[in-house]
Amino acid sequence: MFSRMNDATRTQALDLLKSEFQLKNTKEVKNSWIIGGRIPKENQERIVQLFEVLLEIQETKVREILVHF
């Protein structure tokens, strides 16, 4: 899901995960959880929910841009 996000949505996702799970920094989230694939099992379901919402918002914004052209 993270790979389907554009840069702005990725930044938003990392910031959200940092905040949601009280982590020290976004680098830790990206390197350990996303790239390293070490998302704690107890957090996986919530992360999927958050990523689904972020992707829906991203897709809505893209559709709005396309409609205006």
pLDDT digits (tens, 9 = 90+) for 15-65: 999 999 999 999 989 999 999 999 999 999 999 999 999 999 999 988 887
Q: For residues 26 and 28, give the distance between their C-alpha atoms in angstroms, rounded to a whole number.
A: 5
Q: How far is CA 32 from CA 14, 35, 69, in A?
A: 12, 6, 40
Q: Note down the domain range covering 31.
A: 2-68
In the chain, the number of structural domains is 1
Q: What is the DSSP letter of 36?
A: S
The model's pTM: 0.85
Q: How many CA atoms lie within 13 A of 67 on its CB side?
A: 6
Cα-based angle 61, 5, 50 (whole degrees, multiple of 5): 85
